Structure 1
Amino acid sequence: MPKRSSAQPHMAVGYGVLTFRLHDCRSLKAKRSVVRSIIGQMRNHFNAAVAEVGANDIHQRARIGFALVGPDHQVINAKMDKLINFVDGLGLAEIIDTEMEIFHL
């Protein structure tokens, strides 16, 4: 791999996993509807890579992973905070845990 010169721009990558409790889901079909809605809105509003990453067979639990790329740590950190606040504000499910990390390339 070639070495980067100091003139090349750096970028930051932020990723995270949100764990949700879905109170009113009594079937996997109902869960998938809620998860699809959350994922679609995260993608549309934040241009993020988003996917369901766990708890696939549990009706009232969902784990959704996301990734964002930007010019620096501050931009990505602010965008991740806005994403979490946005998803929480949707009122579709309760966020019960968050895991996030930002690294530089």
Structure 2
Amino acid sequence: MWVGWIEFDVLLGDVHSLKAKRSVLRPVIAEIRKRFDVSVAEVDHQDLHRRAMVGVGLVSGQRAHLVEVLDAVENHVAALPEIDLLSARRRILSSDD
């Protein structure tokens, strides 16, 4: 069994309140969840209105599939016009670790 996750530190565009932040992040999170069939949530910077840390997690039987999905999610997030990707950090573990 393989478990992988990736965390995205993102900067939101013209956002001046936490309510506006939610209106930008909620559809992004829903789209990632639906398109890639992964677990995804805002995991840090909840009190900042222009920054967000979004975490994506996945379990797979094959490492290659896990890497493929995480790569696709990262490429998707990097291409989103409503956010700027500041950094991405990933981790992959096997059940043998």
Question: TM-score under structure 1 normalisation?
Answer: 0.85
CA deviation map 1:51-75 (0-9, x unaligned)? 1111011111000111011122221
Counterpart of 2:66?
76
**Pairwise mapping of residues 32-71 of structure 1 onto structure 2 (< 5 A)?**
32-71=22-61
Report the AA paired with residue 21 of structure 1.
L
1:101 is displaced (CA, Å) by: 0.4
Identical pairs, percent: 35
Report the AA paired with residue 42 of structure 2.
E
How many residue pairs get aligned? The number is 95
Q: Rg bigger for which structure?
A: 1
Unaligned runs of 5+ in 1: 1-10
Counterpart of 1:24?
14
CA deviation map 1:2-34 (0-9, x unaligned)? xxxxxxxxx211112111001211111110111
Higher fraction of strand: 2
Runs (4+) of structure 1 exceeding 4 A deviation are none
Q: Secondary structure at the match of 1:84?
A: helix
Question: TM-score under structure 2 normalisation?
Answer: 0.92
